Amino acid sequence: MAAMKRLFGRPEALRDVPTHYCPGCPHGIVHRLIAEVIDELEIREKTIGIAPVGCAVLAYNYFNCDMQEAAHGRASAVATGIKRALPDSIVFSYQGDGDLASIGTAEIVHAAARGENITVIFINNAIYGMTGGQMAPTTLVGQRTTTCPDGRDPRLAGFPIRISEMLATLDGAVYIARASVHNISHLLKAKRCIKTAFQVQLNGEGFAMVEVLCACPTNWGLSAPEAMKWVEKNMIPYYPLWEIKPLLKEGVVRD
């Protein structure tokens, strides 16, 4: 009998361990996409990931590459320091919206403005996930959280910030995209965006970021299927999926 060929398995860049994420949380999906890209680009041995405080604070337990912990909001600053000290390494930060779009706004804006040659994966679930479900800068108008139980009121809290569009205006930002993992077709598109963002760094092009819209079933008070539908119905209309600042230079792998 001929030996069976293995066609699918765990990426080498992802450890075979249980995660701490809530049921239905897409963090594990995005981890898998990043790990697949690292394997396909054959960069695991020189990749360094940065995990700040937030739901992904324990990401160093899940990625099978060098990892560095950062203070809340400071991941892009830490990534900048590591990349400058070790320019031949591939450095990526993995940050939530409360981390990147609030506590770390200054760090991400100036990293992009300087054109730091790093890759940023930005998880937007429109809420502070780990710390109690508070309103984040990305919380939608009318969306209920523990700190705005009647829904976000723009007269009091302003409007949700479209971070990707804002960073795309900066000359140092080379590639900015927004994706989602609420279904399979969009999951595959998200992987292509993530791969492009890593390829930008490999080519020495500059700053690249992929925003990934994700559900938070626990803090939204929804089941996992309901939360995925909520992303499609409510988040995508406000945060449209597209390559906001596409890479136009030649030589970048896009698929």
CB atoms within 10 A of CB 161: 16
Domain boundaries, the chain: 27-131+161-245
Helices (H), the chain: 27-40, 75-85, 97-98, 105-114, 154-157, 163-168, 184-202, 217-220, 224-230, 236-238
CB atoms within 10 A of CB 133: 18
Q: What is the pLDDT of residues 34-72, one digit of tens each?
A: 999 999 999 999 999 999 998 989 999 999 999 999 999
Q: What is the pLDDT of residues 75-113, one digit of tens each?
A: 999 999 999 999 999 999 999 999 999 999 999 999 999
Place of tokens 């031949």: 88
**Beta sheet of 119-124, edge-to-edge order:** 66-69, 47-51, 90-96, 119-124, 207-213, 173-180, 242-245
Q: What pLDDT is attached to residue 248? A: 60
Taking the C-alpha atoms of residue 214 and residue 145, their distance in angstroms, rounded to an integer, is 16
**% pLDDT > 70, the chain:** 95
What's this model's pTM, rounded to 2 decimal places?
Answer: 0.93
CA 58 from chain center: how many Å?
15
What top-level class would CATH report for the domain 27-131+161-245? alpha beta
Taking the C-alpha atoms of residue 201 and residue 193, their distance in angstroms, rounded to an integer, is 13
Q: What is the pLDDT of residues 122-162, one digit of tens each?
A: 999 999 988 888 999 999 999 999 999 999 999 999 999 99
Residue 255 has pLDDT above 70, yes or no: no
The pLDDT-based confidence of 2 (bands split at 50, 70, 90) is low
